[in-house]
């Protein structure tokens, strides 16, 4: 049985076109007493702003080389030992059509962080012995 070990909710805001990378913007730690075998899984958008489609690519990338994205929704498996942590980076690409398709007021509100383009869910799930 697969269980959610941790859930990341990634909000895309302030960027209105092109590629953005936020290095080491999150951490995943094993605070338990046993080694866990995990996978990253891209679930998809959880908001309904109507702008989520402008996010052409989004990924959560771990410092151990593991990643899940809108193009490759499930990572390979990896282990976290008790007390071990890994850093996670967020990368996304926003279609330039967003800045051409919205009025200047909505664009300013996105740039100011008042409006979000969308929220995207990534789960870290446990893996049964393979």
Contact 94, 16 (CB under 8 A): yes
> For 17-30, what is the mean pLDDT?
95
- Tell me what pLDDT residue 124 has: 97
Q: Is the pLDDT of residue 129 over 70?
A: no
CATH number, residue 26:
2.60.120
Distance CA 78, CA 31 (A): 16
The closest alpha carbon to 86, from 6, 26, 10, belongs to 26
* Owning domain of residue 67: 4-126
Structure confidence by residue, pLDDT tens digits, 33-92: 999 999 999 999 999 999 999 999 999 999 999 999 999 999 999 999 999 999 999 999
| Residue count (the chain) | 130
Q: How many domains does the chain have?
A: 1
């Amino acid at each position: 049985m697969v269980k959610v070990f941790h859930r990341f909710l990634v909000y895309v805001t302030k960027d209105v076109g092109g590629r953005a990378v936020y290095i080491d913007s999150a951490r995943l730690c094993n605070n338990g007493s046993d080694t866990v075998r995990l996978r990253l899984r891209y679930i998809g958008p959880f908001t309904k702003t109507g702008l989520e489609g402008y996010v052409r690519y989004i990924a959560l990338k771990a410092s151990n080389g593991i990643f899940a994205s809108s193009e490759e929704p499930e990572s390979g498996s990896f282990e976290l030992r008790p007390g071990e942590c890994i850093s996670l980076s967020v990368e996304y690409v926003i279609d330039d059509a967003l800045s051409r398709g919205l009025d200047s007021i909505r664009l300013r509100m996105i740039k100011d962080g008042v409006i979000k383009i969308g929220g995207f869910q990534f789960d870290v799930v446990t893996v049964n012995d393979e």
